[in-house]
């Protein structure tokens, strides 16, 4: 059972569900507006979030910000008919590409076969929706290009288009008064590539942008809300591996060995997976 959690006076969130690929949904509660972060992977997901907000006496969101175009972050938008939706121009373009798609099993299988869809996403869609594929793709109400700051009354939210390997349209959401940075999926690998991958130059550029935010809590959409210390541990691993990959492109053994020499730690399973991602993406132009 998904429950609503309060991180601070102004920021609430609901945990993800891995099986059906439901990401974390967030709410920034202002005196005049409540902003919902991401729309969820279905109307059921979005509606559940609205219900648990109402149970806590939190004002219904009048705004919703989308972090990127992937299905699990936007399919709940059709349930938010009275909410102004905000996305980057690039995110709107990504959603527009989904408009002609059908979502039956045969259509999903065809797109998995030709690389337009990811196998585990197709499976998650089937689990989330069952036989009734009632999803309706909805375009955002308003768009921005680089950044947009919203005054919710007593608290502000900055939306920043940062891009990255996972999605070129990735947006992070920063709440300065709460020192919360909602990362969305920005730091995850590119899962739509033939082999999952990260590019070192693009990763280093993204980490440099994220370092500009004075956050104390970081939200990984398919993970958890972590402290600055925990985020910095992950950030430093990514930065080290990206830099080493630039010196040893495509050489998994050399990257691993150099990482272990540099850090004095064995490369655990998580690090080895990241090494594979960087090896797969080391030949790409960022």
> What are the 10-residue block averages of pLDDT along the chain, 286 residues in total?
91 97 98 98 98 97 98 98 97 98 97 95 97 93 98 98 98 98 98 94 98 98 98 98 96 97 94 97 73
The three-point CA angle 193-132-114 to 5° equals 20
At residue 2, the pLDDT reads: 79
At residue 3, the pLDDT reads: 87
At residue 235, the pLDDT reads: 98
Tokens, residue 62: 């009048």
At residue 285, the pLDDT reads: 57
At residue 76, the pLDDT reads: 98
């Amino acid at each position: 059972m998904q429950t609503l959690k309060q991180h601070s006076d102004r920021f609430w969130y609901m945990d993800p569900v891995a099986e059906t690929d439901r990401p974390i949904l967030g709410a920034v509660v202002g005196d005049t507006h409540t902003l919902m972060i991401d729309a969820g992977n279905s109307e059921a997901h979005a509606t559940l979030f609205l219900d648990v907000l109402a149970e806590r006496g939190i004002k219904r969101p009048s705004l919703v910000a989308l972090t990127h175009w992937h299905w699990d972050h936007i399919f709940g938008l059709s349930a938010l008919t009275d909410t102004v939706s905000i996305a980057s121009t690039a995110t709107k373009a990504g959603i527009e590409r989904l408009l002609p798609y059908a979502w039956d099993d045969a259509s999903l299988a065809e797109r998995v076969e030709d690389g337009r869809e990811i196998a585990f996403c197709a499976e998650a869609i089937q689990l989330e929706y069952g036989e009734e594929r009632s999803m309706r793709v909805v375009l955002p109400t308003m768009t921005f290009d680089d950044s947009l700051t919203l005054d919710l009354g007593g608290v502000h939210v900055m939306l920043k288009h940062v891009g990255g390997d996972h999605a070129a349209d990735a947006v992070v959401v920063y709440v300065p008064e709460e020192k919360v940075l909602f990362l969305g999926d920005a730091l995850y690998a590119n899962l739509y590539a033939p082999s999952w991958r990260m590019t070192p130059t693009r990763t280093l550029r993204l980490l440099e942008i994220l370092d500009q935010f004075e956050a104390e809590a970081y939200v990984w959409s398919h993970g958890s809300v972590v402290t600055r210390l925990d985020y910095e541990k992950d950030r430093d691993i990514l930065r080290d591996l990206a830099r080493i990959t630039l010196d040893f492109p495509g050489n998994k053994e050399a990257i691993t060995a150099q990482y272990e020499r540099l850090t004095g730690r064995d490369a655990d399973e998580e690090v080895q997976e990241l090494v594979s991602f960087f090896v797969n993406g080391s030949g790409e132009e960022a």
